[in-house]
Structure 1
Amino acid sequence: MSERDLPEELVLYILDLCFELPSEDFLRFPTPDGARKNPSRNADILLVSRRWLRIGSPLLFASLRLSDPEHAISVARQLKNNPGLGSVICDVRIEGDCGDDLGSVLALTPNIQRLYVALDQKNNARAEGLRRALPYINPREVFIMDMTRMLRAFPLFPWGRGMRADEAMAAVEHVIAGHWSELQCVHLGPCNEVTPSLSQALERANAARAQRSSPALRIKRQRASVGIQ
């Protein structure tokens, strides 16, 4: 029997087992006592045939990690060339500067449920890009990791207290306060603080939620791992 004889339902089941990546693993925070290991999925199995590539590609996109402008450009191109592929993306992890095409990616991912965003002082230069991109989505949960604060604990990163991700964080606070109506929970990573500006954003969001008779946002500070609601 060749792979062409396998029913598509069976191929999909096999690939789903190979690519299964629980949200709690994909969205786990790093901790000061040890860097997070990025879980990986072996996509080489899709090279078996074009049929397997067609069947399995949506499974790979269910959890999307973006970390640099070149990757964001590539993903935006794939989403534009494959209508409907963006609709399968549920979890997005943004780490680092993703450039101007971050908005192009998020505009094509209407069903994002959970967003992880790691910020450091380098993101400040792209704060306006974040401010434009983030309103395209409306997640139920957001995971915020202030890498600048955490890396101060390591002597290899001589970042003083003047090194902050305030402008990038302000872009996230902006959408929490006025755009993310479906948001239910804010997860704060190790070393993150509820700053006065974040507190104000949460108050504005909760005021709007009260008008809709929706429950207040839940705030969870994480130390080692996260639990998905």
Structure 2
Amino acid sequence: MRYFAVLGTLALLSGGAVQAASVVETVDFSNSFFSPTNFGEFGVGDNTVTGSVSATCVLDPGADFSDCSGGDEIDYGFFTLAAGTELVGASVVISNFTTDAMYNYPVDPNFPAETGPIEDPSAIGGGVNNVYFEENGVFSLLGDSFLAGGVISVQIFPSTILGFGNNPDIQSFGTVSFDYQVTVSLRETTPAVPLPAGFPLFLTGLAGLYGVASKSKRQDTKAA
């Protein structure tokens, strides 16, 4: 009995912090800001969230922006930080970025050359935590707020040129898709106590366990 108690005490003293998490989108992440996906608790090391988005944007003359809700337009979720950890870095890797985006120039008799749809791949892009991109690459997320310590928002959105009175003058449309991997790196703020420094605590625990065992033995002797 005492032997197992000693092993248990050793395990408590040498136990490390929560390990890094790896989250993969096997089921579509939430696209709702009101019911986000819970990515779980992030621990020490490089925590990753991997997924993809794909949408088709269509013209919406009655709105300020094109409508990109036709597909998986948004991935949205949150994570929590393990106790005793802090954020030290964050980045996103964008891959397989494809688009056939176009701008729709309205018919304007004064500028007949600028009418109808005009191809422009930069018309629709993506963003992760306020970092905008329209190509593959690695983008740093340092400096982003990560609201409440853990919000990740991935979105497809069109560019729109507004006219007077904030009415959309030109809207973009087309399809876009890309894969992403967000990496959030954490470190310990309260490192585990090294065994030599914690040895007095270990001895105190042993003494307590020995006392309990001795008391139990005396009670068993009296009962006999």
> What TM-score, normalized by structure 1, do the two folds share?
0.24
Q: Which has the higher helix share?
A: 1
Q: Which has the higher contact order (CA 8 A, sep 6+)?
A: 2
Rg larger for:
2
> What TM-score, normalized by structure 2, do the two folds share?
0.25
